Amino acid sequence: MDVEKIRKDFPILERMVNGKKIAYLDNGATSQKPREVIDAIVRYYSEYNANVHRGVHKLSEESTVAYEDARRKIAEFINASEEEIIFVKNASEALNLVMYSYGMANVNAGDRVSISIMEHHSNFVPWQVLARRKRAKLEILDVGKEGELVGLEKASGSKIVSISHASNVLGTINDAEKICRVAHEGGGVAVIDASQSVPHMPIDVKKMDCDFLAFTGHKMLGPTGIGVLYGKKELLEKMEPFLYGGDMIIEVKKESSKWNALPYKFEAGTPNIEGAIGLGVAVDYLNKVGMEEIRKHEIELLSYAIGKLKDEVTIYGPLDARKRTGLITFNVAGVHAHDVATILDEDGVEIRSGHHCAQPLHDRLGLESSARASFYLYNTKGEVDRLVDGIKKVKRVFA
Amino acid sequence: MSIEYERIVHIWKNPPNRGEMKDADLVAEGANPICGDKVRVFLKIKDGKIADASFTGEGCAISIASASLLLDYLKGKKVEEIENVGKEKVMELLELDLSRNPSRLKCALLPLMALKSGKIR
């Protein structure tokens, strides 16, 4: 994997901030986009913009083919079939779809839904609301000292077990296959929030045996506003639509309507066509580089960064790079994360600070906030060095 | 590091007006859940004027420096003056232009927002 060559594909990496070339280390929030993705969106609007699944004219045929082609690429990318890939806005919408269409119909008073304390708000709040509305019990699995999920067996018997594949704060990679097994053994379904894993490692939904898998496009080199819900066909077929309107129907009469086939039953209204096309091209790009290669590169960066940082800052989550995704959340003793981020920004090092949409986890760890550096395929050891230098500067300034 | 931010960090290290006030006439609290900043401000009022002011709290350098400088500015002024203070004034006191930095502006405005929500006992 030639990182220097990859970097040339990302125009934004040339951007200067405060007179310095950026070191973009906020990939957990969103990734940058390669020229090919940007060009694909421009080409769509310059050459064949038309609504999909509607016209019979040339442009509409072209846009429909491109949109469906993107679906096929994404299906292959996670080893699903095309009718199991539903385009949504983002992972939050994907998880809300499951909550409303599956959860509301299948969870009753006294039932139990299991999540974990490390969930992003998008995989926390919907289940909290479902439990309240249905008077079900919300069970929140805890984390251990190394940021690992503990007490998974307690989730057995829950109607829904919804847990992230990788934590956006701790970096912990959870054993998704085991989560699914535990959910199934107790007669429930498994929902995996893969927002932080699909961009960074190979994913096979058949091997994982999840019932639903949610992820977003913009964290994996694609545009914003496009996300994916994978669902097992037999479950999706039984579910009621989430949104009603155009394109999701096969026939509309005065009295009632008939729903369209999968996946269109869940895609009401004109979709984000350029988003889907852009995401398809992003998947091509990731395939070209190779997901195994990307994972290896991130483990290398992580090991390097953890080695340099472990005596400088408090790192949260597992210290073994193989147990976490390419991100490091940390705090500098006595300094607020916002101040860390501001001082790093002065040198063009872009990291995230705050609670990263994981307030329950911060409460659990007794933290107000934390700083996070997150890596991707285009990041280098040189950028990690700039991060480390910046942190040393923070410590000097605030000493 | 910019000279302006250096000044903020300098104030943060030893912020004037920090401390609890037992006999305050106004106590108000503000919190910014996004970053965990928390501030509590205390005013002593005499003849309609702010006779003394202090604050307690935890937060980033900007929110702490903002509390320090704002209370310094308000001491001796009429209570009604609080209503006239806006974000421009806070940025002027901080000597920081945060107009294109909305997340940090929120930190800077926290003490003022707390103060404006407070009621005189």
Token pair for B60: 């980033």
The residues of A annotated with a catalytic role in the active site are 357
**Global pTM value:** 0.91
Highest mean pLDDT among A180-194, A344-358, B96-110: A180-194
Q: What is the pLDDT of residues A142-154, one digit of tens each?
A: 999 999 999 999 9
Reported confidence tier of residue B11, pLDDT bands at 50, 70, 90: very high
- Residue among A336, A342, A353 minimizing CB distance to B5: A342
Which chain A residue lies closest to B36 (C-alpha atoms)? A368
Tell me what pLDDT residue A70 has.
Answer: 98
Contact flag A368-B34 (C-beta cutoff 8 Å)? no
Please report the sign of the dihedral spanned by the C-alpha atoms of residue A361, residue A365, residue A367, residue A372.
negative
User: What is the predicted pLDDT for the residue at B33?
Assistant: 74
Residue B95's domain comprises: 3-117
Residue from B3, B9, B37 whose CB has the most chain A CBs within 10 Å, to mutate? B9
Cβ-based contacts of A355 with chain B (< 8 Å) = 34-36
- What pLDDT, in 10s, does the model give residues A167-221? 999 999 999 999 999 999 999 999 999 999 999 999 999 999 999 999 999 999 9
Q: Per the structure, how many domains does chain B have?
A: 1
Q: Is the ipTM of this complex over 0.90?
A: no
pLDDT at A82 over 80: yes
pLDDT band at A368 (very low <50, low <70, confident <90, very high): confident
Residues whose CB falls within 8 Å of the CB of residue A159, separated by 6 or more in sequence, listed in order: A106, A107, A111, A112, A113, A136, A188, A189
Letter string b/e over residues A286-314, b meaning 16 or more CB atoms within 10 A of that residue's CB: beebebeebbebbbebbebbbebbeeebe
The answer to whether residue A54 scores a pLDDT higher than 80 is no
Hey, what domains does chain A have and what are their CATH numbers?
Answer: 3-27+290-398 (3.90.1150.10), 38-287 (3.40.640.10)
Q: Report the pLDDT averaged over residues A71-88.
A: 98
E strand intervals along chain A: 16-17, 20-21, 23-24, 85-88, 112-116, 137-143, 149-150, 160-164, 189-193, 212-216, 227-231, 249-252, 257-259, 314-316, 327-331, 349-350, 352-354, 370-374
Q: How many Cβ atoms sit within 10 Å of the Cβ of residue A186?
A: 17
| pLDDT at residue B36 tops 80 | no
Yes or no, beta carbons of B35 and A353 under 8 Å apart: yes
pLDDT in tens, A102-139: 999 999 999 999 999 999 999 999 999 999 999 999 99
B9 contacts A339? CB cut-off 8 A: yes
**Cβ contact (<8 Å) for B33 and A359?**
yes
| Angle subtended at Cα A365 by Cα A364 and Cα A369, rounded to the nearest 5 degrees | 110
B58 at A interface, C-beta within 8 A: yes
Give the CATH number, domain containing residue B77: 3.90.1010.10
